[in-house]
Amino acid sequence: MVDEYVRRTAVTRLSVRDEQRELLEATIDAYRDGCQIAADIAWPEKKSKRDIHPLAYDSIRNDTELTSQHAILATHQAAEAIASCHERRSKGLKTSKPVFTAPTVTYDTRTMTLFEDDTVSLSTVGGRIRCPLVLPEDDDGYQWQFIENERWEMTESTLTARDGAYYLHMGFRRFRTEREREANQETAEDGTVLGVDVGVNNLAVTSTGLFVSGGELTHWQNEYEKRRGSLQRTGTRWAHENIQSVGRKENGRCTILLHEASNVILEEARENDCTHLAFEDLTDIRERLPHATWHHRWAFRKLFAFVSYKAVEDGITVRQVNPQYTSRKCSYTDCGFTHVDNRDGDSFECLKCGYAIDADYNAAKNIAVKYAKKLRRSHMPSDGGVSVDIPLNSGSLTVEGSTTVVVA
């Protein structure tokens, strides 16, 4: 069934004072506990909100400091998690009781109010707090079109803590217009893309600014290479057999590291509600990353394979895009200036607009934009009904029509 609403998410950072920070942290902990209490009680058979609410509400209220409305939202969240477990199971996939670890809290219109002065009031375990939204100064910020336009109404939002900062993923919706309903393409879905750049120093960097270090992997690869080297010099049959055993150990340890890395990337994709994950095409990686050893290239392919097959369970599509210019192109707003000298090792500085940024992060953003544009073209050849969001380190970027709106 087609949703009668168009839904969008606007991401923004919150400005939080120290005493508010404590309340938010306590609320995040309590909410996580609340969701877990509900899931523990309801697992495995109950799955609807209606089933879980009466069972778990009192326990949550007794055992946490959550407000009554947040206790209800926690039961809903547990119900959704359990329902998606049942869905996975019905597809023959493995599933187990949901475990809540993410530092997030769901807000609805009863627990959060957006004011005209661009502040929000949030319900916490210690009463309401009011925080300013950190929005882009210019009116181009894509968030404004939702915040300032009465056609859009707020729905559920998610508060997320990351690296000591707090982000609000504000949910908005508006009714589909007549024309949109007529167009009604099944394929014309909104998408959210996470771009992933792979490399030697950073095994992976995402377009949301998540850095997955390649240090440990490189360390162990060097270590095993050394062991192999000294065994090779020994030259005995015993040494030969040991070289093979070193290879197996290396494989095992590196595979574990790559599994962990793939989990971190997928968690990032889920946290940002991504529908698509874009990697660069790894075919010519040898030419593009001359410093990468065969170990690294093996690791990139393995990482991509892990992410691809794990993403299926989350319904996230994983694709590769042509990496041409992704490392040389400026990813700032409409700049797009492309020059080989923009990049100098780990750092990127645009020769035209001066935009300075980590080189891998710049590439990850370009990979995401490239894929988002491709996605749009494949959905909508003619007009601008579909938008593809790209969440960034702060703010996000929307590819709509032929333009890319960036909020850095």
Q: Which is nearer to Zn ion, 123 or 362 (CB)?
A: 362
Mark the segment that binds Zn ion (CB under 5 A) among 116-124, 171-179, 301-309, 332-340. Answer: 332-340
Distance, CA of 397 to CA of 195 (rounded, Å): 12
Residue written as token pair 């490189």: 218
Tell me the β-bridge partners of 5: 175
Asked if 350 touches Zn ion (CB under 5 A), the answer is yes
Provide, rounded to whole angstroms, the least separation between the CB of residue 341 and Zn ion. Answer: 12
Q: Which is nearer to Zn ion, 110 or 352 (CB)?
A: 352
Mark the segment that binds Zn ion (CB under 5 A) among 48-56, 121-129, 171-179, 355-363. Answer: 355-363
Asked if 335 touches Zn ion (CB under 5 A), the answer is yes
Tell me the β-bridge partners of 11: 169
Distance, CA of 355 to CA of 351 (rounded, Å): 8
Contacts (Cβ under 8 Å, ≥6 apart) of 286: 292, 297
Mark the segment that binds Zn ion (CB under 5 A) among 19-27, 74-82, 190-198, 335-343. Answer: 335-343
The single-letter DSSP state of residue 169 is E
Asked if 337 touches Zn ion (CB under 5 A), the answer is yes
Residue 36: both structure tokens together: 């877990």
The single-letter DSSP state of residue 332 is S
C-beta separation of 283 from 178 below 8 A: no
Query: Longest Cα pair distance anywhere in the chain, in angstroms?
Result: 79
Provide, rounded to whole angstroms, the least separation between the CB of residue 331 and Zn ion. Answer: 8
Provide, rounded to whole angstroms, the least separation between the CB of residue 329 and Zn ion. Answer: 9
Residue written as token pair 């380190």: 393
Mark the segment that binds Zn ion (CB under 5 A) among 25-33, 97-105, 243-251, 354-362. Answer: 354-362
Asked if 325 touches Zn ion (CB under 5 A), the answer is no
Provide, rounded to whole angstroms, the least separation between the CB of residue 390 and Zn ion. Answer: 17
Residue written as token pair 């920070």: 21
**Helix/strand/coil for 205:** strand
Q: Which is nearer to Zn ion, 226 or 352 (CB)?
A: 352
Interface residue with Zn ion, options 107, 166, 172, 332 (CB under 5 A): 332
Q: Which is nearer to Zn ion, 140 or 284 (CB)?
A: 140
C-beta separation of 9 from 169 below 8 A: yes
Asked if 353 touches Zn ion (CB under 5 A), the answer is yes
Q: Which residues bind Zn ion (CB under 5 A)?
A: 330, 332, 335, 337, 350, 352-353, 355
